[in-house]
Amino acid sequence: MYFAVISIFPEMFASIRDFGITGRASAQGQVTIDCINPRDYTADNYRRIDERPYGGGPGMVMMAEPLAQAIDDARGRATQHGCRIDAAHCPVIYMSPQGQTLSENSVLEMSDYDGMIILCGRYEGIDERLLMHYVDSEVSIGDYVLTGGELPAMVLMDSVIRRLPDTMGDDQSAIQDSFVDGLLDCPHYTKPHEYAGMSVPDVLLSGHHANIAKWRFGQQVARTQARRPDLWQAFTPNAQQAKWLKALAKSDSNSH
Protein backbone atom coordinates (compact mmCIF):
# COMPACT_ATOMS: atom_id res chain seq x y z
CA MET A 1 0.00 0.00 0.00
CA TYR A 2 1.27 3.46 -0.85
CA PHE A 3 1.21 6.43 1.52
CA ALA A 4 2.21 9.96 0.55
CA VAL A 5 2.33 12.33 3.51
CA ILE A 6 2.45 16.06 2.90
CA SER A 7 3.99 17.76 5.91
CA ILE A 8 6.42 20.54 6.77
CA PHE A 9 7.91 18.16 9.35
CA PRO A 10 8.66 14.99 7.36
CA GLU A 11 11.24 13.87 9.92
CA MET A 12 8.45 13.06 12.36
CA PHE A 13 7.40 10.08 10.24
CA ALA A 14 10.62 8.18 10.88
CA SER A 15 8.87 6.81 13.97
CA ILE A 16 6.26 5.00 11.89
CA ARG A 17 8.53 4.16 8.94
CA ASP A 18 11.39 2.68 10.97
CA PHE A 19 9.93 1.05 14.09
CA GLY A 20 7.54 -1.67 15.16
CA ILE A 21 4.99 -3.44 12.99
CA THR A 22 4.70 -0.48 10.62
CA GLY A 23 8.48 -0.29 10.28
CA ARG A 24 8.65 -3.99 9.47
CA ALA A 25 5.90 -3.60 6.88
CA SER A 26 7.89 -0.77 5.30
CA ALA A 27 11.16 -2.72 5.34
CA GLN A 28 9.48 -5.74 3.74
CA GLY A 29 7.92 -3.63 1.00
CA GLN A 30 4.33 -4.21 2.10
CA VAL A 31 3.89 -0.46 2.38
CA THR A 32 5.69 2.53 0.89
CA ILE A 33 5.77 5.78 2.84
CA ASP A 34 6.76 8.93 0.96
CA CYS A 35 7.09 12.20 2.87
CA ILE A 36 6.68 15.34 0.80
CA ASN A 37 7.57 18.76 2.18
CA PRO A 38 5.47 21.58 0.66
CA ARG A 39 8.36 23.97 1.30
CA ASP A 40 10.09 22.30 -1.64
CA TYR A 41 7.44 23.81 -3.94
CA THR A 42 7.86 27.44 -2.91
CA ALA A 43 9.46 30.13 -5.07
CA ASP A 44 10.90 32.52 -2.46
CA ASN A 45 14.18 32.29 -0.58
CA TYR A 46 12.41 31.83 2.74
CA ARG A 47 10.46 28.76 1.49
CA ARG A 48 7.34 30.32 2.94
CA ILE A 49 4.15 28.27 2.99
CA ASP A 50 1.95 30.47 5.23
CA GLU A 51 0.43 33.95 5.19
CA ARG A 52 -1.81 36.20 7.26
CA PRO A 53 -5.52 35.41 6.97
CA TYR A 54 -7.78 37.69 4.95
CA GLY A 55 -10.22 39.45 7.23
CA GLY A 56 -7.72 39.59 10.07
CA GLY A 57 -7.45 37.44 13.14
CA PRO A 58 -4.69 35.56 14.94
CA GLY A 59 -2.24 33.10 13.47
CA MET A 60 -1.27 32.17 9.96
CA VAL A 61 -2.91 30.14 7.18
CA MET A 62 -1.17 27.64 4.93
CA MET A 63 -1.15 28.81 1.31
CA ALA A 64 -2.85 26.87 -1.47
CA GLU A 65 -0.21 26.92 -4.21
CA PRO A 66 2.68 24.98 -2.58
CA LEU A 67 0.25 22.44 -1.17
CA ALA A 68 -1.39 21.98 -4.57
CA GLN A 69 1.96 21.32 -6.21
CA ALA A 70 2.87 18.87 -3.46
CA ILE A 71 -0.42 17.00 -3.97
CA ASP A 72 0.13 16.89 -7.75
CA ASP A 73 3.60 15.43 -7.15
CA ALA A 74 2.13 12.90 -4.70
CA ARG A 75 -0.42 11.82 -7.29
CA GLY A 76 2.33 11.26 -9.82
CA ARG A 77 4.31 9.14 -7.36
CA ALA A 78 1.19 7.18 -6.43
CA THR A 79 0.59 6.38 -10.10
CA GLN A 80 4.13 5.04 -10.36
CA HIS A 81 3.31 2.70 -7.48
CA GLY A 82 0.26 1.34 -9.28
CA CYS A 83 -2.41 3.41 -7.54
CA ARG A 84 -5.60 4.36 -9.29
CA ILE A 85 -5.91 8.08 -8.67
CA ASP A 86 -9.46 8.72 -7.52
CA ALA A 87 -11.38 9.11 -4.29
CA ALA A 88 -12.30 5.42 -4.17
CA HIS A 89 -8.77 4.05 -4.55
CA CYS A 90 -6.21 6.71 -3.57
CA PRO A 91 -7.98 9.65 -1.92
CA VAL A 92 -6.51 12.90 -0.65
CA ILE A 93 -7.26 12.94 3.08
CA TYR A 94 -6.96 16.04 5.24
CA MET A 95 -6.40 15.41 8.95
CA SER A 96 -8.81 17.80 10.61
CA PRO A 97 -10.80 17.99 13.89
CA GLN A 98 -13.77 18.89 11.66
CA GLY A 99 -13.59 15.60 9.80
CA GLN A 100 -15.36 12.29 10.26
CA THR A 101 -14.11 10.54 13.40
CA LEU A 102 -11.83 7.61 12.67
CA SER A 103 -13.36 4.25 13.59
CA GLU A 104 -12.47 0.60 13.17
CA ASN A 105 -15.07 0.32 10.40
CA SER A 106 -13.56 3.21 8.46
CA VAL A 107 -10.07 1.79 9.00
CA LEU A 108 -11.19 -1.52 7.53
CA GLU A 109 -12.60 0.27 4.48
CA MET A 110 -9.37 2.24 4.02
CA SER A 111 -7.29 -0.94 4.14
CA ASP A 112 -8.77 -1.78 0.72
CA TYR A 113 -7.37 1.38 -0.88
CA ASP A 114 -4.46 1.27 -3.32
CA GLY A 115 -2.98 4.09 -1.25
CA MET A 116 -3.71 7.49 0.21
CA ILE A 117 -2.34 11.01 0.14
CA ILE A 118 -2.47 12.49 3.63
CA LEU A 119 -2.39 16.25 4.09
CA CYS A 120 -1.11 17.56 7.43
CA GLY A 121 -2.13 21.07 8.35
CA ARG A 122 -0.41 23.52 10.69
CA TYR A 123 -1.05 26.98 12.13
CA GLU A 124 -4.70 28.13 11.90
CA GLY A 125 -5.42 25.79 9.00
CA ILE A 126 -5.30 25.62 5.21
CA ASP A 127 -6.72 27.94 2.56
CA GLU A 128 -10.28 26.71 2.06
CA ARG A 129 -9.96 26.80 -1.72
CA LEU A 130 -7.24 24.14 -1.62
CA LEU A 131 -9.46 21.91 0.49
CA MET A 132 -12.44 22.37 -1.82
CA HIS A 133 -10.44 21.67 -4.97
CA TYR A 134 -8.16 18.82 -3.86
CA VAL A 135 -9.37 17.07 -0.71
CA ASP A 136 -11.63 14.02 -0.98
CA SER A 137 -12.32 13.56 2.73
CA GLU A 138 -11.43 14.96 6.14
CA VAL A 139 -10.62 12.64 9.03
CA SER A 140 -10.49 13.37 12.76
CA ILE A 141 -9.07 11.24 15.56
CA GLY A 142 -11.21 12.92 18.21
CA ASP A 143 -12.88 16.06 19.44
CA TYR A 144 -9.77 17.97 20.40
CA VAL A 145 -7.18 20.13 18.66
CA LEU A 146 -3.46 19.36 18.23
CA THR A 147 -0.67 21.59 16.98
CA GLY A 148 -0.62 19.87 13.61
CA GLY A 149 -1.85 16.97 11.52
CA GLU A 150 1.28 14.83 11.80
CA LEU A 151 0.32 12.85 14.90
CA PRO A 152 -3.22 12.18 13.63
CA ALA A 153 -1.73 11.10 10.29
CA MET A 154 0.48 8.59 12.06
CA VAL A 155 -2.50 7.28 14.01
CA LEU A 156 -4.40 6.80 10.76
CA MET A 157 -1.46 5.10 9.04
CA ASP A 158 -0.73 2.79 11.97
CA SER A 159 -4.37 1.72 12.24
CA VAL A 160 -4.60 0.99 8.51
CA ILE A 161 -1.22 -0.74 8.11
CA ARG A 162 -1.91 -3.20 10.92
CA ARG A 163 -5.08 -4.31 9.10
CA LEU A 164 -3.21 -5.17 5.90
CA PRO A 165 -2.65 -8.90 5.22
CA ASP A 166 0.48 -10.42 6.77
CA THR A 167 1.64 -7.28 8.58
CA MET A 168 0.84 -8.64 12.05
CA GLY A 169 2.69 -11.61 13.49
CA ASP A 170 -0.73 -13.26 13.82
CA ASP A 171 -3.60 -11.88 11.73
CA GLN A 172 -6.00 -13.05 14.46
CA SER A 173 -4.53 -10.36 16.74
CA ALA A 174 -6.17 -7.63 14.69
CA ILE A 175 -9.48 -9.48 14.50
CA GLN A 176 -9.70 -9.88 18.27
CA ASP A 177 -8.90 -6.27 19.16
CA SER A 178 -11.28 -3.79 20.76
CA PHE A 179 -13.98 -2.33 18.47
CA VAL A 180 -13.54 -4.96 15.73
CA ASP A 181 -16.77 -6.74 16.70
CA GLY A 182 -18.31 -3.69 18.33
CA LEU A 183 -17.12 -4.50 21.86
CA LEU A 184 -14.08 -3.66 23.95
CA ASP A 185 -11.37 -6.30 24.20
CA CYS A 186 -11.26 -8.88 26.98
CA PRO A 187 -8.46 -8.98 29.61
CA HIS A 188 -5.28 -10.87 28.77
CA TYR A 189 -2.86 -12.86 30.97
CA THR A 190 0.57 -14.44 30.62
CA LYS A 191 3.26 -15.97 32.90
CA PRO A 192 3.68 -16.11 35.84
CA HIS A 193 0.55 -17.90 37.02
CA GLU A 194 0.41 -15.76 40.17
CA TYR A 195 1.28 -12.08 40.41
CA ALA A 196 0.61 -9.57 43.21
CA GLY A 197 -1.61 -12.10 44.93
CA MET A 198 -3.77 -12.63 41.83
CA SER A 199 -4.02 -15.82 39.79
CA VAL A 200 -4.85 -16.40 36.15
CA PRO A 201 -8.56 -17.33 35.76
CA ASP A 202 -8.93 -21.13 35.80
CA VAL A 203 -10.89 -21.22 32.56
CA LEU A 204 -7.85 -19.95 30.63
CA LEU A 205 -5.84 -22.93 31.90
CA SER A 206 -8.53 -25.48 31.03
CA GLY A 207 -7.67 -25.97 27.37
CA HIS A 208 -11.41 -25.97 26.62
CA HIS A 209 -11.55 -23.56 23.70
CA ALA A 210 -15.33 -23.17 23.63
CA ASN A 211 -15.44 -22.28 27.32
CA ILE A 212 -12.55 -19.88 26.88
CA ALA A 213 -14.31 -18.16 23.99
CA LYS A 214 -17.50 -17.87 26.04
CA TRP A 215 -15.60 -16.47 29.05
CA ARG A 216 -13.77 -13.92 26.91
CA PHE A 217 -17.03 -12.78 25.36
CA GLY A 218 -18.56 -12.37 28.81
CA GLN A 219 -15.59 -10.22 29.84
CA GLN A 220 -16.02 -8.13 26.70
CA VAL A 221 -19.68 -7.58 27.50
CA ALA A 222 -19.00 -6.60 31.11
CA ARG A 223 -16.24 -4.17 30.16
CA THR A 224 -18.23 -2.59 27.36
CA GLN A 225 -21.31 -2.14 29.52
CA ALA A 226 -19.24 -0.55 32.28
CA ARG A 227 -16.85 1.58 30.23
CA ARG A 228 -18.59 2.32 26.94
CA PRO A 229 -22.38 2.05 27.28
CA ASP A 230 -22.67 3.86 23.93
CA LEU A 231 -20.96 0.94 22.22
CA TRP A 232 -23.11 -1.55 24.08
CA GLN A 233 -26.30 0.19 22.95
CA ALA A 234 -25.16 -0.09 19.33
CA PHE A 235 -23.94 -3.70 19.59
CA THR A 236 -25.69 -6.40 17.54
CA PRO A 237 -24.66 -9.95 18.48
CA ASN A 238 -24.22 -12.75 15.99
CA ALA A 239 -25.99 -16.07 16.51
CA GLN A 240 -23.34 -17.55 18.80
CA GLN A 241 -23.02 -14.36 20.81
CA ALA A 242 -26.80 -14.23 21.24
CA LYS A 243 -26.70 -17.72 22.79
CA TRP A 244 -23.92 -16.68 25.12
CA LEU A 245 -25.87 -13.57 26.14
CA LYS A 246 -28.87 -15.71 27.08
CA ALA A 247 -26.63 -17.99 29.12
CA LEU A 248 -25.04 -15.01 30.85
CA ALA A 249 -28.44 -13.51 31.64
CA LYS A 250 -29.63 -16.86 33.08
CA SER A 251 -26.49 -17.15 35.17
CA ASP A 252 -26.95 -13.62 36.52
CA SER A 253 -30.59 -14.31 37.45
CA ASN A 254 -29.62 -17.52 39.26
CA SER A 255 -26.94 -15.73 41.26
CA HIS A 256 -29.41 -13.21 42.72
Find the catalytic residue in 40, 124, 138, 158. 124
34 DSSP β-pair partners: 4
Mapped onto helix, strand or coil, the DSSP state of residue 148 is: strand
Find the catalytic residue in 65, 104, 138, 177. 177
Which residues, 6+ apart, have CB-to-CB distance to 119 below 8 Å? 6, 67, 71, 92, 93, 94, 95, 126, 134, 135, 149
DSSP-assigned letters across all residues of 42-92? --STT---EEPPTT--SS-EE-HHHHHHHHHHHHHHHHHTT---STTTS-E
152 is catalytic: no
97 is catalytic: yes
DSSP-assigned letters across all residues of 114-144? SEEEEEE-BTT-B-HHHHHHH-SEEEESSSS
143 is catalytic: no
Find the catalytic residue in 17, 91, 114, 162. 162
162 is catalytic: yes
Q: Which of 79, 83, 156, 144 is nearest to 119 (CA)?
A: 156
Q: How far is CA 129 from the centre of its chain?
A: 27
User: How far is residue 185's CA from residue 223's CA, in Å, rounded to a whole number?
Assistant: 8
**Residue 172 identity (one-letter amino acid):** Q
Residue 205 DSSP label = G
Neighbouring C-beta atoms of residue 146, cutoff 10 Å: 13
Find the catalytic residue in 38, 66, 91, 97. 97
Rg (CA), the chain: 23
Which residues does the annotation mark as catalytic?
97, 124, 162, 177
